[in-house]
Chain A
Amino acid sequence: MANVGIVIVSHSPKIAVGAADMVRQMVGDSVPLACTGGDAGGGLGTSVESILQAIDAAWSDAGVAILVDLGGAETNSEMAVEMLDPDRRGRVVVCNAPIVEGAVIAATEASGGSPLETVQRVAEELSPQ
């Protein structure tokens, strides 16, 4: 079974790429990874269309965990998940976790072959309860 994929969604393209670089340094190519940042006009923001493309790029049959920064990134990611084909929808989760630390720890967990629920749980353990 393939490893869980990781998608990073930030308002800032630089943060998205930077967080993805940190993930790559940790786990190399063992985890499908994609990132997206910035709105359709090239400014700070997030785009449902780009998030859908990122999910596609990081797709794994084991599922995909999405890490987001601020509110709009979460809302747009949830919207994107709902717009997926029904057979994929149930295998994508938006993690309630800090974007950089969450992405790194989720990817590390995923690289060990853990299932999606475990990947999500270890990322979310980083959030204040």
Chain B
Amino acid sequence: MTPEFLHRLILAVADTVIAHEAELTALDQAIGDGDHGLNMKRGFEAVRVEAEAMAAKPLPDALRAIGMLLVMKVGGASGPLYGTLLMTLGKEIAPDGSNAPLAMGTAVAVVMARGKSQLGQKTMLDVLVPVQQALAAGGADLASRLPTIAADAAIATVPLQATKGRASFLGERSIGHMDPGARSAALMVSAACRVWEG
């Protein structure tokens, strides 16, 4: 993985999140506290500023640095959750990225522990888990299949009732809305895969 490729990857993910600020905020206003778009934008604007310097680092160090920045800048619960995902990924991944599925498996498990959450509670995990499973299963055209898997998984949170996070206060009224964290996770997966595909 060249610094140039890593730079494009970081910018693509950051720009996608920033561009969807309004949509993430609208989703969060429906079932949360309405700050997910703004929080994520603040975090990824900070990432954008340091993108070039981060891309120059070895992959594990770059992921850890981005994760730490998200922890410090995003706020909300999504900062420590996405931050934990990337920091764990950075800790586990080989410099050439060859063990990505395994590293992602550990990272998602640590996010589950951090959020004291599991699959089916209408959270980002409802996207991260199926993406990790598809990554682990491997196969052809992974980069073109993952965005669909992620998008479908985010849509599948619509009929769920939230039992974790702020949306759980709404009980049955959380049904019928897409989870903002699931949506932001799907956006990031898609953006990364577009760069991966080239």
Asked if B115 contacts A75 (CB within 8 A), the reply is: yes
> Which of A45, A49, A83 interacts with B76 by CB under 8 Å?
A45
Using CB atoms, name the residue of chain A closest to B73.
Answer: A40
User: Assuming the A-B contacts A43-B38, A79-B84, are A71 and B166 also in contact, with contact meaning beta carbons closer than 8 angstroms in the complex?
Assistant: yes
In chain B, positions 39-90 with a C-beta closer than 8 Å to chain A are 39, 42, 71-73, 75-77, 79-81, 83-84
Residue B35, interface by CB 8 Å: yes
Give the residues in chain A near B35, CB-CB below 8 Å. 39, 43-45
Contacts of B165 in A (CB 8 A): 71
Closest to B70 in A: A48
Chain B residues within 8 Å of A48, by CB: 71-72, 79-80
The answer on a CB contact under 8 Å between A39 and B76 is yes
Interface residues on A, range: 10 to 19
Distance A53 CA – B189 CA, assembled complex (angstroms): 34
Any A CB within 8 A of the CB of B33:
yes
Asked if B114 CB lies within 8 Å of chain A CBs, one says yes
Count contacts on B: residues with CB < 8 A to the other chain.
Answer: 20
Nearest CB in chain B: distance from A82 CB, A: 9
> Which of A39, A72, A79 has the most CB atoms of chain B within a 10 A radius of its CB?
A72
Q: Are B33 and A44 in contact (CB under 8 A)?
A: yes
CA distance A11 to B42 in the complex (A): 17
- Set of chain A residues within 8 Å of B83, measured between Cβ atoms: 79
A75 and B75: CB pair below 8 A? no
State the CA gap A48–B79 with chains docked (Å).
9
With a CB–CB cut-off of 8 A, which chain A residues contact B39? 39, 45
Contact residue among A45, A70, A71 (Cβ-Cβ distance under 8 Å from B75): A45
Task: Tell me which residues across on chain B come within 8 A of A70, comparing CB atoms.
Answer: 166
Residues 3-44 of A at the B interface (beta carbon under 8 Å): 11, 39-41, 43-44
Inter-chain CA distance A70–B164, complex, in Å, is 11
A39 to B80 alpha-carbon distance, docked (Å): 13
Asked whether, in the complex, the Cβ of A76 is within 8 Å of the Cβ of B115, the reply is no
Contacts A44-B35, A45-B39; is A79 near B71 (CB within 8 Å)? Answer: yes
Asked if A47 lies at the interface with its beta carbon under 8 angstroms from chain B, I say yes
